[in-house]
């Protein structure tokens, strides 16, 4: 009999709570408000069909060949050009989705028991990506305006215990939907620079604003003290698995080496197709259609919550963009315990506890408003409210 001995880090690899819940959505009749899946209505199918044909006709052999680890040069240039501060394309590393970007950052900067700071709550996928490196993830107190800078300083650590990095999502955060204010951004960047703590700025949702664009990125304020992460998943299509890192030149080579070891390079065909699609300002024309769609669906969900949760002590955020809102159940309730009752009523959500690095708030849950139709949203929120009433 063969004995398979697992590495110690394998014990730190846990299934995604979201991916496990998505299995429930295979059940007929389930309306899922769980996954962060962009609406297929927003996928520019015609443009991709044309771009695929163009790439194959123009340089199909090169598109199907091995490629450089850094990424397709015209796409790296396009990324540099669309960011609101001076970026050299040599600072841009194309990744296989921003989930890979998180994995590479974890491998390069974190050792066992390294301190890292995260928001309260934070993106579950980041905690999952960093976990195999066995860091100590420390939650920094946060409010509707973002991370609390005083608590950031208090938890930064000193000496060998000093935080290696701080991971933040300033725009329409996953899971809460909140946006960090201008004042909080300025204070956080200044304090991080003073303490010498690198900021990892994850910005997959920043273009999905409904009223006005969010304040300038953290990285624009201190490019040498930040790593910036972006993605084409939310503005084009997630199946392409295309993300990117913008890193200071001093640390770029190590991220590149980690990328080479991980997968040699992100699929070159995908990179060429995206470069073809976004040339000539396509995103400037396309993204407003996504904003309009998601705003309408957010408004539908907020109206449904107001109507269906009347008389219940349920609170929720009012995101100014992005894909999610955050719900807090009445005193004494547990979102994980509520989930089976909701699924019996044909609605699924993500319990909030897995989004906390420590001391989870079990009364919280995340809802996505971008994939379900308006009618499905209204039906699902009514079912969720019925489950809350029954569970009380």
* Sole residue written with tokens 């420590």: 358
Half-sphere exposure of 289 (CA within 13 A, CB side): 13
Q: 268: Cβ–Cβ under 8 A, 6 or more apart, which residues? A: 62, 63, 64, 65, 66, 67, 72
CATH 3.30.930.10 fits 8-44+284-390, yes or no: no
Angle between helices 374-391 and 335-344 (to 10 degrees): 120
Secondary structure string (H, E, C) spanning 177-193: CCCCCHHHHHHHHHHHH
Q: How far apart are CA 261 and CA 306, in angstroms?
A: 50
What tokens appear for 196 in the block?
Answer: 């010498």
Mean pLDDT estimate for the chain: 95
What would the pLDDT profile of 143-172 be if each residue is shown by its tens digit? 999 999 999 999 999 999 999 999 999 999
Residues 263-286: what's their mean pLDDT?
97
Residues 116-140: what's their mean pLDDT?
96
pLDDT of residue 113: 96
CB 294 within 8 A of CB 39: yes
pLDDT of residue 10: 84
Residue 338 has pLDDT above 70, yes or no: yes
Count the neighbouring beta carbons within 10 Å of the beta carbon of residue 143.
10
**In CATH, what is the architecture of 46-281?**
3-Layer(aba) Sandwich (3.40)
With b meaning 16 or more CB within 10 Å and e meaning fewer, what string describes 112-140? Answer: eebbbbbbbbbbbbbbbbbbbbbbbbbbb
Enumerate the domain spans of the chain.
8-44+284-390, 46-281
Q: How confident is the model at residue 28 (pLDDT cuts 50, 70, 90)?
A: confident
pLDDT of residue 141: 98
Count the neighbouring beta carbons within 10 Å of the beta carbon of residue 392.
12
pLDDT of residue 25: 65
Q: How far apart are CA 324 and CA 177, in angstroms?
A: 5
Q: Which of 8-12, 191-195, 211-215 has the lowest mean pLDDT?
A: 8-12
Ramachandran class of 391: left when φ > 0, alpha when ψ lies in -120 to 50, beta otherwise: alpha
0.85 exceeded by pTM = yes
Work out whether the CA dihedral 150, 154, 155, 159 comes out positive or negative: positive
DSSP for residue 358: S
pLDDT of residue 224: 98
Q: How confident is the model at residue 17 (pLDDT cuts 50, 70, 90)?
A: low
Q: How far apart are CA 16 and CA 28, in angstroms?
A: 22
Q: Which of 7-16, 246-255, 351-360, 383-392 has the lowest mean pLDDT?
A: 7-16
Q: How far apart are CA 133 and CA 114, in angstroms?
A: 9
Residue 283 has pLDDT above 90, yes or no: yes
Residues 59-66: what's their mean pLDDT?
97
Q: How confident is the model at residue 9 (pLDDT cuts 50, 70, 90)?
A: confident
Residue 19 has pLDDT above 70, yes or no: no
**What stretches of the chain adopt beta strand conformation (E)?**
31-32, 92-95, 115-119, 136-140, 142-143, 146-147, 165-168, 199-202, 226-231, 243-246, 315-316, 324-328, 347-348, 350-351, 364-368
pLDDT of residue 16: 67
Residue 231 has pLDDT above 90, yes or no: yes
Q: What is the CA radius of gyration of the chain?
A: 21
pLDDT of residue 317: 97
Q: How far apart are CA 210 and CA 319, in angstroms?
A: 9
pLDDT of residue 24: 67
Residue 369 has pLDDT above 90, yes or no: yes
pLDDT of residue 14: 74
pLDDT of residue 18: 66
Cα distance from N-terminal residue to C-terminal residue, the chain: 51
Q: How confident is the model at residue 15 (pLDDT cuts 50, 70, 90)?
A: confident
pLDDT of residue 158: 94
Q: How confident is the model at residue 392 (pLDDT cuts 50, 70, 90)?
A: confident
């Amino acid at each position: 009999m063969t004995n398979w001995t697992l590495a110690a880090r394998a014990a730190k690899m846990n299934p995604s709570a979201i991916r496990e819940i998505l299995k429930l959505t295979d059940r007929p009749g389930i309306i899922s408000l769980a996954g962060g899946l962009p609406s297929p209505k927003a996928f520019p199918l015609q443009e991709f069909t044309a771009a695929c044909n163009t790439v194959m006709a123009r340089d199909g052999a090169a598109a199907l060949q091995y490629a450089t680890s850094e990424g397709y040069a015209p796409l790296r240039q396009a990324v540099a050009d669309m960011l609101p501060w001076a970026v050299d394309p040599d600072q841009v590393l194309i990744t296989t989705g921003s989930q890979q970007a998180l994995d590479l950052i974890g491998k390069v900067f974190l050792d066992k028991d390294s301190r890292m700071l995260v928001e309260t709550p934070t993106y579950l996928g980041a905690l999952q990506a960093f976990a195999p490196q066995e860091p100590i993830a420390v939650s920094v107190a946060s409010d509707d305006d973002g991370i609390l800078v005083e608590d950031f300083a208090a938890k930064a650590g000193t000496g060998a215990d000093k935080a290696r990095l701080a991971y933040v999502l300033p725009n329409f955060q996953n899971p809460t939907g909140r946006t960090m204010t201008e004042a909080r951004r300025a204070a956080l960047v200044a304090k991080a620079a003073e303490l010498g703590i690198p900021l990892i700025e994850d910005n997959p949702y920043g273009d999905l604003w409904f009223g006005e664009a969010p304040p300038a990125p953290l990285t624009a304020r201190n490019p040498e003290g930040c790593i910036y992460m972006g993605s084409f998943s939310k503005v084009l299509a997630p199946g392409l698995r295309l993300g990117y890192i913008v890193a200071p030149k001093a640390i770029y080579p190590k991220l590149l080496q980690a990328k080479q070891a991980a997968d040699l390079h992100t699929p070159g065909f995908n990179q060429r197709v995206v470069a073809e699609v976004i040339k000539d300002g396509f995103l400037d024309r396309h993204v407003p259609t996504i904003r309009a769609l998601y705003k309408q669906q957010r408004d539908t969900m907020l109206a449904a919550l107001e109507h269906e949760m009347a008389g219940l002590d349920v609170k929720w955020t009012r995101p100014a963009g992005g894909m999610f809102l955050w719900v807090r159940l009445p005193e004494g309730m547990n979102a994980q315990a509520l989930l089976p009752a909701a699924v019996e009523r044909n609605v699924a959500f993500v319990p909030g506890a897995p989004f906390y690095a420590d001391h989870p708030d079990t009364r919280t849950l995340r809802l996505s408003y971008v994939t379900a139709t308006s009618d499905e949203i209204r039906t699902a929120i009514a079912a969720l409210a019925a489950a809350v009433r029954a569970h009380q």
